[in-house]
Structure 1
Amino acid sequence: MRLLRFFGWTFVAIFSGLLLGLSGAFLYLSPSLPSAESLRTIQLQIPLRIYSSDDKLIAEFGEMRRTPIRYADIPPDFIHALLTAEDDNFANHYGVDLVSLMRAATQLLSSGHIQTGGSTITMQVAKNFFLTSERSFSRKANEILLALQIEQELSKEEILELYVNKIYLGNRAYGIEAAAQVYYGKPIRELSLAQMAMIAGLPKAPSRFNPLANPARSKERRDWILGRMYKLGYIDEARYQQALAEPADASYHVPTPELNAPYIAEMARAELVGRYGSDAYTEGFRVTTTTPSDLQEAASTAVRQGLLDYDRRHGYRGPETHLSGSDRNVWLDELNKRRTIGGLEPAVVTRVEGSGIQVLTRGGDEKRVSWESMSWARSFINSDSQGPRPQHPGQVVKTGDLIRVLRQEDGSLVFSQVPAAQSALVSLDPRSGAIRALVGGFAFEQSNYNRAAQAKRQPGSSFKPFIYSAALDRGFTAASLINDAPIVFVDPYLDTVWRPKNDTNTFLGPIRMREALYKSRNMVSIRLLQSAGIDYTLNYIGRFGFDRQDLPRNLSLALGTANLTPLEIAGGWSTFANGGYRIQPYLIERIEDRTGKLLYQANPPRAPEEQPTPVAATGGQATTGDSAPGAAGSAILGDAKPAPANPSPEAPAPIAAERIVDARTTYIMTSMLQDVIKRGTARRALEMGRSDLAGKTGTTNESKDSWFSGYNADYVTTVWAGFDQPDSLGSHEYGNTVALPIWMSFMGTALKDKPPHLQAEPEGLLTLRINPSSGRIASPGTPGAFFELFKNEDPPPMAREEDSTSQGSLAKEAAPPIDLF
């Protein structure tokens, strides 16, 4: 009896000691423990995602790839596989499994170091959300206490949902949905039983059991999990055997964008970081841009093809490098160091034949490149000179040359090279400023520099419409005669002389404004600026949104020597397309949070759909006051005017755009710019077969910049081409040879099957027959007379008697500049 009492009291003492120890630990640790209830509101890190206006994924930014999934959407097979692998007693314990803990303690005592932690799924949730991965008894005690609290506050389903969305599963995949996409390229619900078991085996050791890094070991763990599922009755023998027989087919699936628009993605990312800081990468924002996928794809294709066409006209610059020897593995290593640029794949020439060449691609395959695709490759000497046309492939390449090839739709390869020149395209909705397409260069992989929004270049003659518009609002008319004659300016302080000239070094004498514009006569532009006044013109042009600091305060402004980006030029040209309103280009249409709640809805100032009665002109000027350049907000997100107080983000009150130019002025300008296409420097655009196109070419000195801006009422598009470090594109390259074909390719797609659409004719215009030599109202029987547009207050004077008898050179080449009827 004494022995029994001894053991009894000993047991009581030990039990009491343990109870006191646990109570003391709880009292000591519990004040520092976080509340388990906070798990209901915890926010998992979700990457930033950028979408096109038609909901195609453009890009994803963020360190963690995660797509949260609800418990109801988790396949039962995966739940069984996960519980089998991690915690088969999950449904029965209260957060802590004493058997697992005792097993872990026994292993510790027998081996002297920690082998397993004995953690349940609930304990792992506690550690993943609240604790570190430090291996210590105090951390384990906190983990146990938190697990007990979590089980009291949350249901088993809520705990499991937290767990499957939080766990790291290798290759930057956090959560089972992201892992399914990374390893199999499919959502978790579409995976097979064997694939689910593979992912269920990852939480224990994502690197050790990774199916990409250790396929044999991951398959071994997968098969063990399948065996356990069979023994526990989760699957029958037929499914078990079928899953065992399934090969391990995991491969790395990078989340590929549905739309290749990297410059758009980068602009949107920068705006989100500017608004939300580093939270932009983790808060799961969904950003919808204004860019539809079809227009963006058309823009990318147009820019790339236009640059390739230009590049081939100027010859082959040789291989990127030459690889000596013939070791195939060395060649493959070099190829794998090279990225595909704008669809141009690297390849090594392995054999030169009379009918073509054989090349080794990065995939290890040998492909043929036909001689027909190489015959253009005259050796490049400079932008104006090329070597003789090659007669066979051996005159172009040799074995070991690392070249570029372009893969066609049928899988065949075409000989090519990465263009040295660059280009940018931006297309806007002229009524709202929404960016419908934007390309900042040949390839984002080649250069992240966004030439559409960052490169300030001289626009050349594509800037002249702003000078002409100012003159029209200063009292000039499309029929006004301006002397196209030499002019010399002397600066007495610098002892310098400026002798501007026309591109052809010819002078036509007195010429009507309309004809001067479509013939792009520099002397006329200078005289218009001189007559209107520099200060007046600068203030006038400032209304279009240009920064005055980018506009030179001298007569060279008439020749387009301002430094402006293609995005700024397109924004300014939108005023001509929309009937006289100032718009602000923007890219972000809306921003939603991780729950789909609308955080931001664009509400830009918009031009009205129908043209109202035009503003009355006072002294040849629009009655609206000058607006300070740069007054609008962010070029991407900000509205040009503040929204009304307390607007609903679901339906913001519309904002009317500010009228900055008389509607009659933009209508006359459009008719003059249509003549640039009908009979001027952009006649090539007649191939498009449309009657509603207006635009202007631009070429700077020594052909360093090639421009074309053009529009109808649906789209205004600006294209620039040139070298990043300004250099001549070639003495025979102009705005109509480099930029215009790119513009035509894009606008041909954008306007396909769309009816003609231009600004409606406003009130307050006169249509009068004029004498082509004098610009005056033509008398009856005047040869070559045609109709011209005038504002009511600016009709031309009546014909003089000598006008009907002396026609001069203008009458001889006169042609109706615009089909008014």
Structure 2
Amino acid sequence: MPQTRLGRNHRKQGFWHYFGRFLSWCFLVFGLLFVSGVGVFAYYAKSAPTVTTTKLQAGGSSALYTNDGKFLLSLGSDKRNYIRSDQIPQQLKDAVLSIEDKRFYNEPLGVDPIRIAGSLVANIKGHDISAGGSGITQQLIKLSVFSTDASQRNIRRKAQEAWLAMQITQKYSKEKILEYYINKPYMGYNNYGIGTASNYYYGKHINQLDLSQTAMLAGMLNAPTSYDPYLYPEATKNRRDTVLYAMYRNNKIDKQTMNRAMAEPINYGLRPRHTNNDHSQRRIIDDPYIKEVVNEAKAKGFDPYNSNLKITVNIDQKAQNELYELANSNKVPFTNEKMQVGATVVDPSNGHVVAIIGGRHLPKVALGYNRAVQTGRSTGSSIKPILDYAPAIEYKNWSTAEILYDTPYVYSGTNVQLYDWDNTYQGAMTMRYALEQSRNVPAVRTLQTVGLQKASKFAKQMGINIEKSQGLSVGIGANASTLQMAGAYGALANQGVYHVPHFISKIETPDGLEHLYDNAGERVMKTSTAYMITDMLKDVISKGSGTKAQIPRLYQAGKTGTVKYSDSELKKFPSYAGTPKDSWFVGYTKDYSIAVWTGYDNLRDGKISGNGENSAQLFYKSAMQYLMKDKVNSDWQKPDTVVAQKLVSGRAITNELYVKGHTPKPPKIPKKKKNDTRRIIMGRNQDNQNEQKTQSQQGTLQKHYIVRRDAYGNLHYYYYYTR
């Protein structure tokens, strides 16, 4: 028994010995982690930016600058209703603190350890150690000094936020910090701070609002776009009720008061949606551009309304003014006042969006509808160079003299017959002529030869997403915006190098970090492809479907596009027969690529008729004339990979282009042998009517094309039939 008791005591002593060593190691590891954490914190805190009263008091709006460093405008209202601490109702303070930071007054260091610890545990479980955990003081620091870019939410930023929060807590009273915070956040519709929002949404001073209205504004601090009472009343009501419940849990209101406030309709006392009085003429002109700047900044992870960003934009203000003038004056004829336009100007060399117009007679509403970026309208034939002919040259080395057939065509697997715009067929023709005259059947046959999948991938490289469900009909009309089309044609203008169209070239955050967005571009086609398409598109303007866009002595290329009404639409509006539903023109020089759409928002608004049928071409012409007036007028240089040869077809002589290594070899005309029973019928490819006559006379024949060079080096096309 004593030995057994001794053994037990020995085992107990061994357990406590190892447990003591384990605790020692735990304390050591904890100590090392603590010291390391303090060291990291001190290291990051040392590089924290400076906080000033001006930064804390200023609104969170971002400033826009042009590429030459000139101030353009500030996002948000210039007339901020700043409310001092003694003007802030206790009701508002209670609402904000209950939903945002209920321990605000009990945070001597400006940070909430309980909140941070809880957020840290929750976020580690979600594999994100950066988000959440910020009380009002840290949120104020974030809105005043740092970017709200999601990529910047890291340990470094959190450490600096906490350090600066501790600093301003020692410098400013709690009431002053709360004052700064209530006046800081973006509240929607170019409003900053709850004081400004109170006037915008209710037309009242903040101290005139009831509890329900106050709770709604306090709830919007978290996400003003998501809790927009005009657009999302149900979500806004749920958020307001969450604030009221938080106030009840925080003992700021009783249950009866909470229920009474929750029963109030969310639109009670709400003013109709409107614009701020400071929406100046400059803002109206630039509004489509500003909207896309905001969208692009958000897509990059920034919040331009709350981040105090310095955003450098690519706008040419004079060009922007000119587009606005063309859309809203009598310089360009439109069918009537309801006819609309959308246009985009891009610099092909870098992708900078120079100017953009979202419509005519734009309403005085900030960030309104922008028709230049709408993607639900068909491009008509303006897609042909990108989707049909460029891939044929790129992948199959076709020449501009490739023979195509404008003959009756039925889409595979259907009984739908394809017609050209004039409801006729013109037989065999070169690719140059088919593109110049915008013939539909040759374009679709070309797309079929290349393959829809391969052609779609080619177009996608230039930002054009093809809806394959349309089948081959997409070859004569894809859904795209003027922004996308101007960018895609910019690749043709830039010798096959594509730059994604962008509105922002640089974003500078308050802590001095710069984010640059210009790049070298991406080659999406061979120089030979770009040059050969450009050469054919010159003919579109000089003698094809785009002659209304002609500008004397200017080197330019372009393509028209018209969209027909569907049969169902014509049943509703039979008088629209024979008129285009949409009209496009996309053209370019070496310096600018311009895409223009014209049409109507709604079928009932009218039909394009009279001079309105030329509005797209004339809008382009006026814009390009203005833009090129001070530019060097230079032509594209033929690359070494392209060979030019004269082609004589009948009485016509054209200069055709071939990919080097793929020029035609003059074939010999087959001679009829003595015992050969085939009958050879010879002709020159100059008169389609004669060709059709020959076919009708001879019955079913197989047609063969050959090319022969004469003594002067000219090429002649011949054809012959075999029975």
TM range (shorter): 0.5 to 0.7
> Is 2:389 aligned against 1:468?
yes
Match of 1:609 in 2: none
Q: Does the aligned pair in 2 maintain the 1:571–1:583 contact within 8 Å? A: yes
1:466-505 to structure 2, matched below 5 A, reads 466=386, 467-473=388-394, 474-489=396-411, 491=413, 496-505=414-423
Normalised TM-score (structure 1): 0.49
Q: Does the aligned pair in 2 maintain the 1:455–1:565 contact within 8 Å? A: yes
Task: Kindly state the Cα deviation for residue 490 of structure 1 after the two structures are TM-superposed.
Answer: 5.7
Task: Find the aligned partners of 2:502 and 2:689 in 1 and give their Cα distance.
Answer: 47
Name the aligned partner's letter for residue 599 of structure 1. E
Task: Find the aligned partners of 2:381 and 2:63 in 1 and give their Cα distance.
Answer: 40
Q: Does the aligned pair in 1 maintain the 2:326–2:332 contact within 8 Å? A: no
Task: Find the aligned partners of 1:309 and 1:530 in 2 and give their Cα distance.
Answer: 38
Task: Kindly state the Cα deviation for residue 727 of structure 1 after the two structures are TM-superposed.
Answer: 6.6
Flag the 1:273–1:65 CA change in 2: closer, same or farther, 3 A: farther
Match of 1:601 in 2: 516
Task: Kindly state the Cα deviation for residue 480 of structure 1 after the two structures are TM-superposed.
Answer: 1.3
1:263-302 to structure 2, matched below 5 A, reads 263-273=288-298, 280-302=304-326
Match of 1:219 in 2: none
Query: What is the aligned counterpart of 2:526 among 662, 665, 671?
Result: 662
Query: What are the Cα deviations for residues 408-463 of structure 1, in whole angstroms up to 9, with x where unaligned?
Result: xxxxxxxxxxx212110001111211101111111431772111113421101101
Task: Find the aligned partners of 2:74 and 2:54 in 1 and give their Cα distance.
Answer: 24
Task: Find the aligned partners of 1:439 and 1:43 in 2 and give their Cα distance.
Answer: 36
SS at match of 1:766: strand
Name the aligned partner's letter for residue 292 of structure 2. M
Task: Find the aligned partners of 1:589 and 1:306 in 2 and give their Cα distance.
Answer: 34
Task: Find the aligned partners of 2:518 and 2:80 in 1 and give their Cα distance.
Answer: 31
Query: What is the aligned counterpart of 1:311 among 330, 335, 339?
Result: 335
Match of 2:62 in 1: 48
Q: Does the aligned pair in 1 maintain the 2:56–2:180 contact within 8 Å? A: no
Task: Find the aligned partners of 2:400 and 2:299 in 1 and give their Cα distance.
Answer: 46
1:775-794 to structure 2, matched below 5 A, reads 784-794=652-662
Q: Does the aligned pair in 1 maintain the 2:333–2:612 contact within 8 Å? A: no
Q: Does the aligned pair in 2 maintain the 1:677–1:684 contact within 8 Å? A: yes
Normalised TM-score (structure 2): 0.55
Deviates more, 1:429-438 or 1:537-546: 537-546
Query: What is the aligned counterpart of 2:543 among 669, 679, 684?
Result: 679
Query: What are the Cα deviations for residues 232-268 of structure 1, in whole angstroms up to 9, with x where unaligned?
Result: xxxxxxxxxxxxxxxxxxxx99474646210111122
Flag the 1:682–1:729 CA change in 2: closer, same or farther, 3 A: farther
Query: What is the aligned counterpart of 2:369 among 418, 426, 449?
Result: 449
Q: Does the aligned pair in 1 maintain the 2:496–2:530 contact within 8 Å? A: yes
Flag the 1:505–1:41 CA change in 2: closer, same or farther, 3 A: closer
Task: Find the aligned partners of 1:731 and 1:127 in 2 and give their Cα distance.
Answer: 61
Match of 1:506 in 2: 424
> Is 2:456 aligned against 1:538?
yes
Flag the 1:487–1:253 CA change in 2: closer, same or farther, 3 A: closer
Flag the 1:429–1:132 CA change in 2: closer, same or farther, 3 A: same
Query: What is the aligned counterpart of 2:355 among 414, 420, 437?
Result: 437
1:30-49 to structure 2, matched below 5 A, reads 43-46=56-59, 47-49=61-63
Query: What is the aligned counterpart of 1:762 among 622, 630, 639?
Result: 639
Query: What are the Cα deviations for residues 688-735 of structure 1, in whole angstroms up to 9, with x where unaligned?
Result: 213311000000113111100000111111000111235796475699
Match of 2:560 in 1: 697
Task: Kindly state the Cα deviation for residue 554 of structure 1 after the two structures are TM-superposed.
Answer: 1.8
Match of 1:753 in 2: 630
Q: Does the aligned pair in 1 maintain the 2:344–2:595 contact within 8 Å? A: yes
Q: Does the aligned pair in 1 maintain the 2:399–2:656 contact within 8 Å? A: no
Name the aligned partner's letter for residue 44 of structure 1. Q
Name the aligned partner's letter for residue 45 of structure 1. A
1:357-368 to structure 2, matched below 5 A, reads none
Q: Does the aligned pair in 2 maintain the 1:534–1:553 contact within 8 Å? A: no
Q: Does the aligned pair in 2 maintain the 1:580–1:666 contact within 8 Å? A: yes
Identity of aligned residues (%): 25
Q: Which runs of 5+ in 1 are unaligned?
A: 1-36, 69-123, 136-141, 143-152, 173-177, 183-204, 208-251, 313-418, 607-656, 774-782, 813-821
SS at match of 2:598: strand
Task: Find the aligned partners of 2:206 and 2:380 in 1 and give their Cα distance.
Answer: 59
Match of 1:797 in 2: 665
Task: Find the aligned partners of 1:662 and 1:292 in 2 and give their Cα distance.
Answer: 30
Q: Does the aligned pair in 2 maintain the 1:705–1:720 contact within 8 Å? A: yes
1:228-239 to structure 2, matched below 5 A, reads none
Name the aligned partner's letter for residue 440 of structure 2. N
Report the structure, 1 or 2, having the larger helix content: 2
Q: Does the aligned pair in 2 maintain the 1:307–1:442 contact within 8 Å? A: no
Q: Does the aligned pair in 1 maintain the 2:338–2:605 contact within 8 Å? A: no
Match of 1:583 in 2: 499
Task: Find the aligned partners of 2:637 and 2:649 in 1 and give their Cα distance.
Answer: 26
Query: What are the Cα deviations for residues 93-122 of structure 1, in whole angstroms up to 9, with x where unaligned?
Result: xxxxxxxxxxxxxxxxxxxxxxxxxxxxxx
Q: Which runs of 5+ in 2 are unaligned?
A: 1-49, 95-104, 106-166, 187-191, 197-204, 208-275, 566-579, 671-680, 691-723
Q: Does the aligned pair in 2 maintain the 1:50–1:265 contact within 8 Å? A: no
